[in-house]
Chains A and B, each alone.
Chain A
Amino acid sequence: MEKFRTVLDFCLSHQKVLGYSAVSLLTAGSERLFSVVVFQCPCNSWNMLYGSVFLLVPALILFLLGYLLNVRTWRLFTGCCAPGRCCCCIQRRRCWRYFRVLWLVTVSAAVAPFTWIAVALLGANFYECAASGSSLLQRHLCQGRGTQCHEQVARMPCGGTLPQEAQTFVSLRAQSQVLGWILIASIMVLVLADTCLNRCRSPVSFLQLRFWKIYLEKEREVFERKAKEHATKLAERNLKCFFESTEPEPFLTPSNKDWQQISSLYAFSTKGQYYSMIHKYISAKRGTSIRSTEEDVFSPALLFVDGTDFNEMGTI
């Protein structure tokens, strides 16, 4: 039991990294599956299109799914262009803030597609099929040999080889794998540099950041629990009134304005220690606007505050 608790604590404290690793593993597994089960290079003039489609289209699909399933996307866009509300980009400062959060969403959504492309390049099947259909390679290998040579080059991924070109074939696989490793290495370097830079520019200390992340996790859990209790009480009161034809008792519930205030993007103020918009709203006078003012600091290190997952998938 103790060991189980230790493992659970480890998982909870490294949730984000474990989440991304799980997504990467799943993507890598699917790529291998598709490569082995579904992919069959046609070995003719279709090579280039077929190989490129298998390499890039699933990455695009994963990218779109990344946006669709990311809670931050919908936190950002809900009510953006609602009738009667001013469009987000009227204030330049607020516009810039939206773009920063959108950038963060894009980076999260890019994990799965880059994993797909990297694993596909390491596997080399798709690249070699696409490259053997590329007119550039065919012209290079078939100098002075006629059009039949082009077809023979296209048939290389299916096992048909010409003696000297076997080496080129092998080097296609090597090219693909080298590209794959370069992609992985450059992404790792960029991620590390970005994390380093963000932490350096953080307005709060290391321990406070740690506490902040745990607080947000707990607030999310308590929000779910309280919302369910509140919803149950409201539903019971409505149904009791419906079935028993009794007079309904008044029921206090947060107003639309309250909900809108706590749903807006987080703005860190150096004056008060507020760990979330809910915390900020209930500390200020209820009914006043707590949206960002001129004195607020927007640090990239604090963008995680808007990323709290309230378990909502933005699907229809």
Chain B
Amino acid sequence: MGISQTVFKFLSSQKKAIGYSLMGLLTVGREHLFSLSTFKCPCSSKNYIYGLVYLFAPALVLLLVGFALNGRTWQLFTGCCVNPRKLFPKGKSCHFFYAFGQITLKAFIAPVMWLSVVLLNGTFYECAMSGSKNLKYLEMLCHNKSKKCLEELPKIACGQTSLSSWETEEIILTLQAESQVVGWCVIVTAAFLSLLITCYGHCQSNTSHLQKRFWKIYTKKEKEQFEKYFEAYATKLSERNLKSFFENKKLEPFPMPSVRAWEEASALDSFNINQQIFSTLHKLVEDSMKENDSNVAQDTMVNLGEGETV
């Protein structure tokens, strides 16, 4: 394996730690980092839209990236246009929504972290709310201030107002305080919902605690073994093909799983834990074993046992 591949593998295994450290750094080095970014409050009636775009557009981008980087999204959607029936197999229609829900919840982590960091910083919120169209809110901000406060409010984020320095400072501090309070509310709501959903998931689960632990280990090991087998088989097949091409020899038969077997192995894992099955592949193998046992007298071919030669 090349150095870049090794580094990439190590980094992807430490995804969580890297993510949290980045968020921590953002909170600490906020002034520096945000001054480097392209944000410049327009200090006009466009403040509100500009601030909201900077608040929510990166969150949306992070959400979409979260969807794209999750392997299960592609497992769910690959081939769905060719065979739409795959998304809603017979008797398991709600499994699609359950799987999509899980993917969505995981994808929400990054946008929520972004929102909490920028709200604790306060710059974007300050810009947005100084251009708010809500009269009551603006009057509350300009309470006990000079008459031109309402007009000068949008320019407060740029420091270009003709208001006195203590008035400007007080309004900025108020906006920042509001932003940070909202930020903390976002974090506490996310933590609470996270706890509730995880609790619900665990309580409803038919699997015991240690079996769940074993299940996670098995899924990880199966993934590693898949990679190993893919590499080994791909190497053997390509060697055979290129040997035949260069040495002009007859093609030796090479047994591989059929297209149908690949389809079935790629299906979403929706099995009953009462049967002690830990993955789709495990289910296929156990099912083929049961069919073999019942068909041994009749001598019929079965799905999995019937490979193809390529």
Which residues of chain A have C-beta atoms less than 8 A from B229's C-beta?
239, 243
- Are A81 and B173 CB-contacts (below 8 A) given A38-B120, A49-B181, A245-B255? no
Stretch among B64-72, B90-98, B127-135, B274-282 lining the A interface:
B274-282
Which residue of A67, A235, A237, A262 contacts B210 across the interface (Cβ within 8 Å)?
A262
Query: Which secondary structure dominates where chain B touches chain A?
Result: helix
Check: B45 CB closer than 8 A to any chain A CB: no
Q: Restricting to A11-48, which residues have a CB under 8 Å from any CB of B?
A: 33, 37-38, 40-44, 46
The interface-forming segment of A71-79, A95-103, A198-206 is: A71-79
A58 within 8 Å of B (CB atoms): yes
B208, A259: Cβ atoms under 8 Å?
yes
Residue numbers in B under 8 Å from A42 (CB-CB): 170, 173-174, 176-177
Closest to B220 in A: A231
Per-residue contact bits, chain B 147-182, to A (CB 8 Å; 1 contact, 0 not):
000000000000000000000001001101110110
Q: Is B269 an interface residue (CB 8 A)?
A: no
Q: Digit string of A235-257 for contact with B (CB within 8 Å is 1, else 0)?
A: 11111011111111010010110
Are B202 and A314 touching (Cβ within 8 A)?
Answer: yes
Contacts of A246 in B (CB 8 A): 305
Chain B CB within 8 A of A290 CB: no
Cβ 8 A contact of A247, one of B181, B192, B282, B289: B289
Decide: A65 near B191, CB < 8 A? Known: A46-B177, A228-B221, A239-B226: yes
Query: Which of A57, A79, A223, A237 has the most chain B CB atoms inside 10 A of its CB?
Result: A79
In the complex, whether A234 has a CB less than 8 A from a CB of chain B is yes
Q: How big is the A interface, by class?
A: 35 or more
Is the CB–CB distance between B102 and A242 below 8 Å?
no
Do A61 and B273 contact each other (CB < 8 Å), given the known contacts A33-B28, A256-B211? Answer: no
Task: Please report B residues at the A interface, Cβ cutoff 8 Å.
Answer: 27-28, 30, 102, 105-106, 120, 144, 170, 173-174, 176-178, 180-181, 184-185, 187-188, 191-192, 194-195, 197-199, 201-214, 216-218, 220-222, 224-226, 229, 233, 255-257, 261, 265, 273-274, 276, 278-279, 281-282, 284-286, 288-289, 292, 304-307
What would 10 more interface pairs be, CB under 8 Å, given A40-B176, A256-B207, A312-B216?
A33-B27, A37-B27, A38-B27, A54-B180, A68-B198, A79-B207, A228-B217, A232-B221, A259-B214, A312-B213
Could you name 11 residue pairs across A and B whose Cβ atoms are closer than 8 Å? A38-B120, A42-B177, A44-B174, A57-B185, A78-B203, A234-B278, A243-B256, A245-B255, A245-B257, A247-B289, A247-B292
